[in-house]
Amino acid sequence: MALLEVRNLSVGIRRNNESLPALSGIDFDIEAGEITGLAGESGCGKTLTALSILRLLPKAAEIAGGSIMFNPGPDEKGRDLLSLEEAELCRIRGKDISMIFQEPRQSLNPLLRIGAQIGETLKLHGLGDKQAREAALDLLEKLGLPEPEKVFSAYPHQISGGMCQRVMIAIAAICRPRLLIADEPSTALDQASQSQILALLQQINRDFGASILFISHDLSLVRRFCRRFLVMYAGRIVEKGPAETLFSAPAHPYTRGLIGAIPNRERRGRPLANISGRVPSIEDRLPGCPFAPRCPRSGEKCLAALPPETDLGGGRLVRCVMAGKND
């Protein structure tokens, strides 16, 4: 049994009295202790997928179907996060499952010192003032943040963006969650801060055994960092499996296109091998393969109906009629 089992998740966006399909039939597992990457171009539905897990969707969005089983371990019964009462969900948020966002400054309260913000989560989950302070300082130190005392008593505007994000990660990690969702955690940061963020996430995965759902546009990061890889296109998972296999032998033309767009040393100075066109908006989703209009190999069959999921073995699944016949 995986730690998280997402099954047939669909999310609609309400617009002019109709519900438009933002996510359709999403299926994936997150194994305990593993880092799973989720990638796809802007507007594919990565953030909505992450927010569905915590049931923190924007007002316009609604869960249209599916289940998200959270299975914390052999001693605790698995629960469907989509059918939990709000009070029970509040106990899970921050404690068992926590999330960090792209813009760290927006997630921190500008009027509160960093230490107070870290301690707040601990107090919410039952620690006293003194214990919370000690645990917060201890964590900052363990996570290798320089001058933890100084960071502890600073206001958010007094520290750098990279440091803010490291503080956010500390807040997310403080209750030792089973799952940490990191939505583009380093996109807004410079290269050096980006490396520190990744190292910090790796440390949390290694030392605390937390699973991580790592959402990123940047496939070179997914490749470096993730054991499993989910490729999303227009509200669907089009390919998933062990990251190593997907990177060495991508089966879906979209995965191939994304990987082909990663800049590398040999290609430096030459135009990127890229995919033309763009992700269809949720008003323009077709009944067939969503990628067909942009796919270099699509035929009539692709436009007629959604390709079934094909099992290529070794934990790899792909939605493409050409699957297994591509090479």
**Considering the complex, what minimum distance in angstroms separates the CB of residue 305 from Mg ion?**
29
Tell me the C-alpha distance between 29 and 229, whole Å.
11
Q: Which stretch binds ligand ATP (CB under 6 A): 46-54, 73-81, 139-147, 316-324?
A: 46-54
Q: Is 188 in the site for ligand ATP (CB under 6 A)?
A: no
Binding part of the chain for ligand ATP, among 39-47, 162-170, 196-204, 262-270 by CB under 6 A, reads 39-47
What residues between 13 and 32 interact with ligand ATP by CB under 6 A?
A: 13, 22
Cβ 289 vs Cβ 303: under 8 Å: yes
Q: Report strand pairing: 310-313 vs 97-100.
A: unpaired
**Which of 21, 45, 162, 241 contacts ligand ATP by CB under 6 A?**
45
CB nearer to ligand ATP: pick between 45 and 94: 45
**What CA–CA distance (Å, rounded) separates 222 from 63?**
27
- Contact flag: residue 293 with ligand ATP (CB under 6 A): no
Query: Quick check: 58 binds ligand ATP (CB under 6 A)?
Result: yes
100 binds ligand ATP per the rule CB under 6 A? no
Rounded distance between C-alpha atoms, residue 129 and residue 110, angstroms: 21
- Picked from Mg ion, ligand ATP, none, the partner binding residue 231 (CB below 5 to 8 A depending on kind) is none
Q: Which residue is nearest to Mg ion (CB)?
A: 47
Q: Residues 190-229: x/- map of binding to ligand ATP (CB under 6 A)?
A: ---------------------------x------------
CB of 100 to Mg ion, least distance (A): 13
Residues 42-81 as x/- pattern, contact with Mg ion by CB under 5 A: ----xx----------------------------------
177 binds ligand ATP (CB under 6 A): no
Cβ proximity to ligand ATP: between 43 and 242 the closer is 43
Residues that bind ligand ATP (CB under 6 A): 13, 22, 40, 42-48, 58, 60, 217, 281-282
Residues that bind Mg ion (CB under 5 A): 46-47
